[in-house]
Amino acid sequence: MIKAVLFDLDGTLADTARDLGAALNRLLAEEGLPAQPYEAIRPMASHGARGLLKLGFGSELDADRMESLRVRFMDIYDANLAQETTLFDGVNELIAELDKRGLAWGIITNKSMRFTERLVPWLPFAIPPAVVVSGDTVGVAKPDPRPMLHATEQIGILPEHCMYVGDAERDIQAGRNVGMKTVLVNWGYFTPEDRPEAWGADIDIDHPLQLLGHL
């Protein structure tokens, strides 16, 4: 019996790609390099700063250069965190219905606390999340099971009574690693190389409200 639904953030609940892309393009402009089109940025938005930096600067960056660019990218993004970020259509209706049914909901993301502590309260969720676990809350990120277990401990619900919803392979791996029912969202951020049909999600959905039929 499902008692809680836990979600990834970027690409699952919130469309953050335009703000992440704006930060990348500002950094590229500072370096005298051409901007990347949104069509190239969106698929990479779930791959974190390093994925976006490889898109803009190439995959041959050495570790020191990557880290220097990453710090600057994070600062630019931090200063413009929620200019165009929005919830995906149907997310708030889903959350309101979960609450009506007496189900807890929460967030487990690889996004740093530096951002989630400001972004999550700013997003217009119908009901605040019962728990937010960031990529650095427990010192490791998904697909490691520890963020998942920390979230379930915080809400007092066993993993087998939780559903985890995400848009990346690591989301499905993390949920499966702790025995949660896993859901893949088809509106998320996928690269051409991704093979979501091979990730082993229990369910895939095309719209947030479709989740209600699986509870």
Chain-centroid distance of CA 87 in Å reads: 12
Instruction: Indicate if the pLDDT at residue 7 is higher than 90.
Output: yes
pTM of the entire structure? Answer: 0.95
On whether both 119 and 99 belong to a single domain, the answer is yes
On whether both 20 and 107 belong to a single domain, the answer is no
Contact indicator for 4, 106 with CB cutoff of 8 Å: yes
Which is the catalytic residue, given 8, 15, 19, 171?
8
Q: Which of 32, 53, 80 is the last residue of a domain?
A: 80
143: preceding bond cis by omega (within 30 degrees): yes
The structural domain count of the chain equals 2
Task: Please provide the average confidence, as pLDDT, over all residues in the chain.
Answer: 96
Gap between the Cα atoms of 111 and 71, Å rounded = 14
10 carries an active-site annotation = yes
Segment 100-128, tens digit of pLDDT: 999 999 999 999 999 999 999 999 999 99
Q: Which of 43, 64, 80 is the last residue of a domain?
A: 80
Angle at 175 between CA 24 and CA 159, to 5 degrees: 135
On whether both 11 and 29 belong to a single domain, the answer is no
Segment 138-180, tens digit of pLDDT: 999 999 999 999 999 999 999 999 999 999 999 999 999 999 9
On whether both 133 and 73 belong to a single domain, the answer is no
Q: Which of 54, 80, 106 is the last residue of a domain?
A: 80
On whether both 107 and 70 belong to a single domain, the answer is no
Domain membership of residue 62 as a residue range = 16-80
Segment 27-84, tens digit of pLDDT: 999 999 999 999 999 999 988 899 999 999 998 889 999 999 999 999 999 999 999 9
Which is the catalytic residue, given 10, 15, 19, 171?
10
On whether both 174 and 205 belong to a single domain, the answer is yes
The CATH number of whichever domain residue 149 belongs to comes to: 3.40.50.1000
